[in-house]
């Protein structure tokens, strides 16, 4: 079934603040003194410590007039925790596509549990949620500081991953059999929806199992997350591909370098790489419609660009221009996502056909670095970010929080209910300074004929 997540721009999502839930469920009253107290830990926070949902002065003023200032719970260690570390068993599962930094998050969770709280039993669930299902016959992996010591140096996930739904009832059965008290789920929107179903099944059975999510998607499209981990690394690697495309373009008469990047519904990687490198002439993203034919269409604009400059670089997010595939039968992957038409190959063929038709010489080089980008290790910035996400996920879990994700919001780590996190999908706002920077960098006009 197709993913039913609605889409909103960054402006729209924050105008509808009344629908955003901020309160985090607790399994019970935390009465166990945190082991961190013995170290005279100076950074304890309280549930009352909050981070405003809206930070800009105009919107804060509007919220004040309504008599409310919505705010998220501040992440961090609590003085008293819910779980007794000596009797707590935790599990970690990674789901969905690969992304730089997954191993960093796993490592951070294990280190924080073991060294910070003294939890000695940490299980890694193999190959996503199917690792819980007995019929797959997958073993669990015992995670220790020694076994995760160097995993951050490698891309991918040591636990493996998979797509597709699994019955929540069977997953909770497995959690009960293994006597797991805390489940950490690392994934994107589909994983969050599965996590919510797991929480519902746990509640139905009256169990005390915490479910904490860490947002993972290379597309940076998760609602109420400033930036997902792996995004910086993806942009950095995308820039390397664009540099190669630019080199190819200027190295031949009427050269065009065409690069396809990740971004099914949101063009953040393509847009950010365009701004970072400033060698891109046309940035095509799902949020911004464009035409091929006509005086203002991409093909005619390319012709004018080559007449003036002799080369061009095009960056296209994978979800751009999907209207051109409207007549194709719709297929879905195991997670229910619609399989997209290949905009990169489509553009290459159409550009070649057009220049043949007008009798002009053309050299076009097409680069698709998607699987290389998503499989590399995290860079330093992402690695640091992953470490903080993992640690704060552990602090939340040990305090008895559940049904939530850890997020970076207004430059602070916060707790956000999964119900709020799955309301919408984040997209590039075409009225934002971010997109204006893209247009200023590329100089591209509107590619629509209206």
Catalytic positions, written as ranges: 219
DSSP β-bridge partners for residue 81: 32
Q: Are strands 6-9 and 255-261 parallel, antiparallel or unpaired?
A: unpaired
Does residue 198 contact residue 172 with C-beta atoms inside 8 Å?
yes
Whole-Å CA distances, 36 to 48, 181, 401, 417: 20, 20, 18, 26
Residue of 304, 264, 251 whose CA lies nearest to 282 = 304
> Can you list the positions of beta strands (E) in 198-286?
210-215, 255-261, 282-284
What does the alpha-carbon distance between residue 248 and residue 258 come to, in Å, rounded to a whole number? 10
- CB-based contacts of 112, cutoff 8 Å, min separation 6: 390, 391, 394, 395
Q: The dihedral of CA 380, 384, 390, 394: what is its sign?
A: positive
For residue 275 the two structure tokens come to 């701004």
Classify 202 as helix, strand or coil. helix
Q: Which helix (H) or strand (E) holds 394?
A: helix 380-398
Does residue 343 contact residue 321 with C-beta atoms inside 8 Å?
yes
Q: Which helix (H) or strand (E) holds 95?
A: none
Does residue 144 contact residue 122 with C-beta atoms inside 8 Å?
yes
DSSP β-bridge partners for residue 367: 259
- CB-based contacts of 319, cutoff 8 Å, min separation 6: 263, 264, 265, 266, 267, 285, 286, 340, 343
Burial call 232-263: b when 16+ CB within 10 Å, e when fewer: bbbbbbbbebbeebbebbeebebbbbbbbbbb
Half-sphere exposure of 25 (CA within 13 A, CB side): 19
What does the alpha-carbon distance between residue 92 and residue 110 come to, in Å, rounded to a whole number? 9
Does residue 52 contact residue 60 with C-beta atoms inside 8 Å?
yes
What does the alpha-carbon distance between residue 87 and residue 418 come to, in Å, rounded to a whole number? 27
């Amino acid at each position: 079934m197709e993913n039913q997540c609605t889409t909103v721009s960054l402006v729209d999502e924050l105008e509808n603040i009344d629908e955003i839930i901020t309160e985090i469920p607790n399994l019970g009253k935390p009465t166990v003194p945190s082991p961190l107290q013995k170290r005279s830990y100076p950074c304890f926070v309280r549930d009352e410590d909050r981070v405003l949902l809206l930070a800009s002065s105009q919107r804060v003023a509007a919220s004040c007039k309504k008599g409310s200032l919505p705010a998220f719970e501040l992440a961090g260690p609590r003085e008293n925790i819910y779980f007794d570390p000596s009797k707590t068993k935790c599990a970690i599962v990674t789901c969905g596509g690969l992304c730089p930094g997954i191993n960093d998050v796993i490592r951070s969770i294990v280190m924080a549990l073991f060294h910070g709280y003294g939890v000695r039993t940490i299980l890694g669930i193999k190959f996503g949620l199917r690792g819980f299902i007995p019929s797959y016959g997958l073993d669990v992996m015992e995670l220790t500081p020694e076994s995760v010591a160097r995993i951050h140096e490698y891309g991918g996930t040591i636990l493996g991953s998979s797509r597709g739904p699994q019955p929540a009832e069977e997953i909770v059965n497995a959690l009960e059999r293994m006597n797991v008290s805390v489940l950490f789920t690392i994934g994107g929107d589909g994983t969050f929806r599965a996590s919510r179903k797991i929480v519902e099944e746990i509640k139905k059975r009256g169990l005390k199992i915490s479910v904490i999510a860490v947002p993972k998607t290379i597309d940076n499209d998760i609602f109420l997350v400033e930036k997902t981990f792996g995004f910086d690394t993806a942009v950095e690697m995308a820039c390397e591909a664009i540099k190669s495309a630019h080199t190819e373009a200027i190295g031949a008469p009427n050269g065009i370098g065409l690069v396809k990047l990740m971004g099914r519904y949101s063009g953040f990687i393509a847009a950010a790489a365009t701004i970072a490198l400033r060698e891109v002439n046309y940035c095509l993203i799902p949020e911004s419609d464009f035409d091929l034919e006509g005086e203002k269409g991409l093909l005619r604009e390319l012709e004018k660009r080559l007449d003036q400059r002799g080369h061009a670089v095009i960056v296209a997010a994978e979800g751009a221009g999907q209207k051109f595939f409207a007549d194709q039968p719709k297929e879905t992957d195991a997670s229910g996502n619609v399989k997209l038409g290949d905009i990169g190959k489509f553009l290459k063929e159409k550009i070649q056909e057009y220049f043949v038709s007008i009798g002009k010489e053309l050299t076009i080089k097409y680069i698709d670095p998607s699987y290389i980008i998503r499989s590399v290790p995290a860079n330093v910035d992402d690695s640091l970010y992953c470490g903080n996400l993992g640690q704060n996920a552990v602090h939340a879990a040990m305090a008895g929080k559940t049904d939530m994700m850890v997020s970076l919001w207004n430059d602070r780590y916060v707790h956000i209910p999964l119900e709020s996190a799955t309301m919408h999908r984040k997209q590039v706002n075409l009225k934002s300074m971010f997109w204006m920077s893209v247009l200023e960098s590329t100089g591209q006009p509107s590619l629509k004929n209206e």
